[in-house]
Amino acid sequence: MSQLSDNLTTAREALGLSVPQVHDALIARGVEVAFSTVAGWFNGSRGVRDMEHLVALCAVLQSDLNSIVLGEIEVSEGAIDVSIAREIRDLSPAQREALLAIIRSMKPQR
C-alpha cells in the first residue's frame, strides 16, 4: 500500500464508511468514477490522478488535501472545523495550551 492509500483508508475507517459507500457518495456528488478505481485508491493499486476526484474524495471523507496527503487525519463535522484545526496547528505549543484553557473555561460546568 502507498502512504496515500493508507491515509485514505484511515480517514474512511474513522468515519465508518465502506468503499462502496465512498463510491456512492462520489457518484452523488457528480463524480463519475468506476468502483474498481475507487477500490484501487484504497488498496494502493491506483493513485488518484484527477484533482477533481481528489477534492471530492476529501469532501466525502470530511477532510482536507493536506491531511490526506500528509497523513494528519482529522475527522470533523464540516469545513469550518477543518479550517479551525488548520489554524490551531500553526500555533506554538504554549499558544495551543492557552487556547485550550480558554475553550475549557467557556464550557458549562458539570
DSSP-derived letter for residue 29 is T
DSSP letters for 36-84 = HHHHHHHHTSS----HHHHHHHHHHTT--HHHHHHT-----SSHHHHHH
pLDDT, position 79: 56
Where do the domains of the chain lie?
Answer: 1-75, 77-110
1-75 CATH fold: 434 Repressor (Amino-terminal Domain) (1.10.260)
Cβ burial, residue 87 (10 Å; 0-12/13-18/19+): exposed
pLDDT, position 40: 95
- The pTM of this model reads 0.64
DSSP-derived letter for residue 109 is P
Answer with the residue of higher pLDDT: 30 or 108: 30
- Residues sharing a CB contact under 8 Å with residue 62, sequence separation 6 or more, in sequence order: 11, 15, 75, 76, 77, 78, 82
| Span 63-87, pLDDT tens digits | 878 777 776 655 555 555 666 777 7
| Span 81-104, pLDDT tens digits | 666 777 787 888 888 888 888 888
| Span 3-46, pLDDT tens digits | 888 889 988 998 899 999 999 999 999 999 999 999 999 999 99
